[in-house]
């Protein structure tokens, strides 16, 4: 994806010509490594293209600001921006011939190496645009996938990203090889273009199948590994990318989770123990969300996002100082709904209160979006209050009860030990008495064995 160096202009143009070899003579992307990310020490000059049209989330200025952050995360230097107002995209060039000519001139003027579009381009549109600009071209989905490819550090994350890339590229293969002849593709005969197309599709589908099988195995392994956590209250951090989730996790647990002021700093799920008032909770951090997150990424990251589905409580971290707070909250809720986690118990945490403009009431802003806990993960202000709130949530949802279970109901005893935290155990003449902390739903299932009222003490 994005690269360059502080090289002289002549060398920069040489790099651009070399990169153009990734495309065939008709300006169509080659299948070999279509979305690879170059070395970290190279930095490319990028032109951003944003389009204002009906149906898009957020304003054009907000989307371009986010695209610029994505470009920075991909190690690009933004040198120019082009905007266009459209009722509907042009079928051939998306932005229309006049704007495309303006884009060509802008690239020449600023010696750009790459053009980044803040929308998803159809394969034919991408081909036509590249043929005109003769520079590397990435739409928003490809840019996000390329960033994920660079950020993935574990086998699981790399598999998830590669699966998303393959699923995104597979429907586009029919456009990539249109330069190969199909004249001989009559009855009983096949042209070389059709043969190559079938070979590429077959290889891609086989690779997708193998990765999907590996991911299923990973999910089974995570399920087995997580079985021992069933009796521990689990909390999952969710939120828009770069709102401070990892910083908050470090502040709460004293962990050393990687923190960087860039988008998608964390891709792999990280779980740490959180000790509060003598009790242990589990806190998980996972990938940050973004508006219009590619569906292929949401699907392929199911193994990582399963931490969200299995959590007893979601901690929705919000950047209270962001001018796009409403859009970010909406985007996170949209992804949670897409993965089936929108009904999970959720506590909203409004982070970065120290970054608010002077005179702005943090409480008033929080109340506007349903209220929650105010804090600054960076300075530590409000973190202790959050710990107390989390302990209260854990005790409310994991309730301490006393159960008298007859010896003949051995399955019930086994269930309690597997799903609860046994605090005391006493064997009597007719059965066993257990003092146990259980999730609220399990308390209801075992109501016939209860001998006391529900309490929240230990």
The pair of three-digit structure tokens given for residue 89, joined into one six-digit string:
């995209």
Q: Given a cut of 80, is residue 245 above it in pLDDT?
A: yes
Q: Specify the pLDDT at position 371.
A: 93
Confidence of residue 21 (pLDDT cuts 50, 70, 90): very low
Q: How far is CA 47 from CA 50, 112, 133, 367, in A?
A: 10, 6, 11, 39
> 171: how many CB neighbours lie within 10 A of its CB?
10
d(CA 332, CA 342): 10
- 230 pLDDT above the threshold of 80: no
186 compared with 126, residue with greater pLDDT? 126
Beta bridge partners of 425: 434
Q: Where are the domains of the chain?
A: 9-150, 153-226, 232-381, 398-449
Query: Residue 10 has what pLDDT?
Result: 46
Across 239-264, average pLDDT = 77
Averaged confidence pLDDT in the chain:
78
Q: Is the pLDDT of residue 100 over 90?
A: yes
**Structure token pair of residue 337:** 């709904």
- Cα(456)–Cα(211) distance, integer angstroms: 45
Q: Are 252 and 205 in contact (CB under 8 A)?
A: no
The per-residue pLDDT for range 361-386, each reduced to its tens digit, is 999 999 999 999 999 999 999 999 99
Looking at residue 356, what is its pLDDT? 93
Cα 451 to Cα 429: distance, rounded to the nearest angstrom: 16
CATH topology of domain 9-150: Rossmann fold (3.40.50)
Closest CA to 16 of 28, 27, 4, 31: 4
The more confidently predicted of residues 179 and 70 is 70
Q: Minimal CA–CA distance to 170: which of 212, 132, 133? A: 212
Angle between helices 60-73 and 140-151 (to 10 degrees): 30
Contact predicate 120/144, CB 8 Å: no
- Domain 232-381 carries which CATH code? 3.40.50.300
pLDDT at 179 over 90: no
Report how far apart the first and last C-alpha atoms of the chain are (Å, whole number).
54
What average pLDDT does this structure show over 424-452? 83
pLDDT tens digits for range 280-297: 888 888 777 887 777 777
- Backbone angle region of 408, left / alpha / beta, with phi > 0 → left and psi within -120 to 50 → alpha: alpha
DSSP letters of 20-36? GGGB-TTSPBPSSSTT-
Each residue's pLDDT tens digit, 206-223: 998 998 888 888 777 766
- pLDDT, tens digit (0-9, with 9 covering 90-100), for 388-418: 999 888 877 776 788 999 998 988 888 888 8
């Amino acid at each position: 994806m994005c690269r360059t160096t502080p090289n002289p202009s002549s060398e920069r143009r040489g790099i651009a010509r070399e990169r153009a070899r990734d495309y065939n003579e008709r300006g169509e992307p080659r299948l070999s490594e279509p979305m690879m990310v170059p070395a970290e020490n190279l930095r490319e000059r990028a032109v951003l293209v944003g389009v204002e049209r009906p149906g898009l989330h957020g304003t054009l200025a907000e989307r371009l600001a986010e695209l610029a952050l994505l470009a920075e995360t991909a190690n690009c230097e933004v040198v120019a921006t082009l905007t266009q107002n459209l009722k509907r995209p042009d079928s051939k060039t998306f932005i229309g011939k006049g704007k495309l000519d303006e884009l060509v001139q802008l690239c020449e003027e600023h010696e750009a190496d790459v053009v980044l579009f803040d929308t998803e381009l159809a394969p034919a549109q991408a081909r036509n645009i590249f043929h005109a600009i003769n520079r590397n071209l990435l739409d928003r989905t490809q840019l996000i996938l390329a960033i994920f490819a660079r950020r993935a550090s574990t086998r699981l994350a790399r598999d998830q990203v590669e699966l998303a890339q393959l699923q995104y590229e597979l429907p586009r293969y029919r456009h990539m090889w249109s330069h190969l002849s199909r004249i001989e593709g009559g009855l009983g005969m096949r042209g070389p273009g059709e043969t190559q197309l079938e070979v590429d599709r077959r290889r891609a589908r086989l690779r997708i199948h193998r990765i999907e099988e590996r991911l299923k195995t990973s999910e089974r392994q995570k399920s087995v590994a997580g079985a021992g956590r069933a009796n521990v209250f689990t909390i999952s951090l969710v939120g828009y990318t770069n709102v401070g989730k990892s910083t908050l996790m470090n502040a709460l647990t004293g962990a050393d989770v990687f923190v960087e002021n860039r988008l998608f700093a964390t891709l792999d799920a990280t779980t740490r123990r959180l000790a509060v008032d003598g009790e242990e909770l589990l806190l998980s951090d996972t990938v940050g969300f973004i508006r219009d997150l590619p569906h292929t990424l949401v699907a392929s990251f199911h193994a990582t996002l399963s931490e969200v589905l299995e959590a007893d409580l979601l901690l929705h971290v919000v950047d209270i100082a962001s001018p796009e707070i409403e859009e970010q909250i909406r985007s996170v809720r949209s992804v949670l709904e897409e993965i089936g986690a929108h009904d999970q118990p959720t506590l909203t945490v409004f982070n970065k209160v120290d970054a608010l403009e002077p005179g702005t009431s943090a409480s008033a802003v929080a109340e506007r979006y349903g209220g929650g806990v105010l804090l600054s993960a960076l300075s530590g202000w409000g973190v202790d209050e959050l710990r107390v709130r989390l302990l209260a949530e854990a005790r409310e949802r994991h309730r301490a009860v006393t159960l008298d279970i007859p010896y003949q109901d051995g399955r019930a005893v086994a269930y309690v030990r597997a799903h609860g935290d046994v605090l005391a155990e006493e064997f009597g003449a007719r059965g066993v008495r257990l003092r146990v902390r259980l999730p609220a739903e399990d308390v209801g299932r075992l109501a016939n064995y209860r001998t006391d009222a529900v309490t929240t003490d230990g």
